[in-house]
Chain A
């Protein structure tokens, strides 16, 4: 409790100077990072406002290609808000405003720049939501929709739906019932269908917003297995409130608090030997 009250001051103290803030954060990921992967997305001095209320404060971090990056932190720390910046979901609602930049490699496009087409970003970056939200259509149509938007038709469509369902480890369970309504699936299957739906269009980054928080432990374990299978093939950013999950699935973990990035580093380091006192207290469950 005390730590939680003291923490914001501590962070504010550290981050008063922009130079001081950005330098360690960048060095943290690029020099100390054990995984020598190229950077897929580079978040630089990202601010986010909802109306006059600033939710993200000067967040800087690197998302490594083909790695799983977990965003952890207590409720309201801005981890979901940060995630939804990557595919410009905030544009759907009025009064939202971005500052800073998210550079998407290899073409170096700034995702949050007003002149960047949010549609293009959403076609290149897939998303899976907290609550399984399949369309009330057939299992096949759920996966096919994104492909149809991209003009895929006929046998190629069928092949790619099958591929996506296989990639999401759902094919064996659904191959004989592709025309059944997706709502007839169990919660865990629905969430894997949502992952298949996102995978079908070959996203460059897959955003997972607390994908297992509405699922039972067995369904959760299957999703985590799936994330593990996708590692090395796909860049994944996962928001989770479950620290054990972050430890199980993430290569890199970023700890956020009150709209700021406190620390980012290899998962093992964050959980066992964090540089910041605040991070150590959070991962040890002393607040949050």
Chain B
């Protein structure tokens, strides 16, 4: 009896040790994010004002703003979403619901998994050769959008496939047994049921794209830009203009990088402020993804 109690106490101690160790390991992540954000806010908070969002970068740190970077990031993300979301979802649907299971589809699957692990700078090099020069798009918003779309495509595909796979086989069989075509099954059942899951994956992919710097530097994003791309909506017919697609651009992380690399400490404050904006954007995107995921779980339980 005494032996047993000692053994129990010993096992309890081991359990407690892991409990504490695990808590410490978990806090590493939280503390890092908190320190990072705190440090940036302390340094850059007093720079964040309406002027900061509405001004162009300048030689003078106190006049510098992030307007072109914000617009650039927004437009690039718009092009990226427009390309990556439909292509990624369609590819995932094809792979999961249409493609025959053979060595070729396994090879494609393996490749997609590998693509997700390719360093982003490689995408930049590839895009510089193919998109910028060969396709002749130049150092434009369109080229940047295509580059980032290719970069996040594997993430979108993988997330969509996971969402599709969480739908039980019985649901597919039910729809097919009623005489639906595969497309009707996908359109009326699989897509609606996996929408939250897909949206979560897409948002996480976009939040990765918004912070990407290396591939955009490679394809030649400008780091100092004092103008905006032409507006997409014009006052004269035909009202819509796509000139902005071929405009040079900068994005938030590149703007931050540019300011950080200046010697004057005042520019470092501006950089911190821009970094806060970037992080807040990313955190907002990720929280949206989390809320969507939670909603999906509570709404449908198989």
Interface residues of A, Cβ cutoff 8 Å to B: 87, 89, 92, 94, 119-120, 122-123, 126-127, 129, 131, 133-137, 145-146, 149-150, 183, 194, 197-198, 201
Q: Supply 15 further A-B pairs (C-beta < 8 A) apart from A135-B174, A149-B184, A197-B178.
A: A94-B100, A119-B179, A119-B181, A120-B179, A123-B178, A126-B177, A127-B177, A133-B168, A133-B171, A133-B173, A135-B171, A135-B189, A145-B180, A183-B301, A198-B178
Q: Report the bound CA distance from A94 to B99 in whole Å.
A: 11
Which residues of chain A are near B56, meaning CB under 8 Å? none
Some 27 contacts from A to B, beta carbons below 8 A apart, are A89-B173, A92-B172, A92-B173, A94-B101, A119-B179, A119-B181, A122-B179, A123-B178, A123-B179, A127-B177, A129-B174, A131-B170, A134-B174, A136-B171, A136-B193, A136-B299, A137-B192, A145-B175, A145-B178, A146-B179, A149-B178, A149-B179, A149-B184, A150-B179, A197-B178, A198-B178, A201-B179
Could you mark each residue 155-177 of chain B with 1 if its beta carbon is under 8 Å from any beta carbon of chain A, else 0? 00000000000001011111111
CB pair B170–A133 under 8 Å, yes or no, is: yes
Does B14 belong to the interface (CB within 8 Å)?
no
Could you mark each residue 13-46 of chain B with 1 if its beta carbon is under 8 Å from any beta carbon of chain A, else 0? 0000000000000000000000000000000000
CB pair A129–B188 under 8 Å, yes or no, is: no
Which residues of chain B are near A201, meaning CB under 8 Å? 178-179
Shortest CB–CB separation between residue A127 and chain B, in angstroms? 4
CB pair B180–A136 under 8 Å, yes or no, is: no
Q: How many contacts A-B (CB < 8 Å)?
A: 60
CB pair A133–B174 under 8 Å, yes or no, is: yes
Q: Which residue of A lies closest to B178 (CB)?
A: A146
Which residues of chain A are near B110, meaning CB under 8 Å? none
Could you mark each residue 178-197 of chain B with 1 if its beta carbon is under 8 Å from any beta carbon of chain A, else 0? 11110010001100110000
Which residues of chain B are near A183, meaning CB under 8 Å? 300-301
Q: Which residue of B lies closest to A136 (CB)?
A: B300
Shortest CB–CB separation between residue A237 and chain B, in angstroms? 14
